[in-house]
Amino acid sequence: MITTHVHLKAGHTTFATVRRNGKPALEPLPEKRFEMRKQLDLTVMKNGHVHLGPDRHYYSVPYSYIGKKVRLLFSKSFVEIYHRHELIASHPRVKSPHNYTTDPAHMASQHQFVSDWSPDYF
């Protein structure tokens, strides 16, 4: 609600003051809209993934964090995974249940060959 009362001493409205003094300081809106985020505290599973329960989807984490507690922040379009306030993984959010989103760089070197497997490989 905008106040339109005239200040007796100043002789102008609060809205006019804000418009005159505040408008030059305004910056343009960001191109990307802000998205509300939710958070979950999880333990990284032995396969190097965390489970986002609402979507029943799994996201990879660097293998060195297996068994550690992490914080998962997610919005409608992305998933970020933090360990002790440090971002360790980021993925676009996928809502396909019972599937995995895996970054090959998160896998141990002795397991990275598996990421090349496909039906054509066999």
**Structure tokens of 24?**
């030059």
Position 20 scores a pLDDT of 75
Alpha-carbon distance of 66 to 50, in angstroms, equals 10
Q: Would you kindly state where each structural domain of the chain is located, as residue ranges?
A: 38-116
What's the rounded mean pLDDT across residues 88-94?
96
Position 27 scores a pLDDT of 83
Provide the whole-model pTM.
0.69
pLDDT tens-digit map of 13-49: 666 777 777 777 778 888 988 899 999 999 999 989 9
What's the rounded mean pLDDT across residues 82-102?
95
Structural element, H or E, at residue 52: strand 49-52
Position 26 scores a pLDDT of 78
Give the number of C-alpha atoms closer than 13 A to the C-alpha of residue 58, restricted to the C-beta side.
15
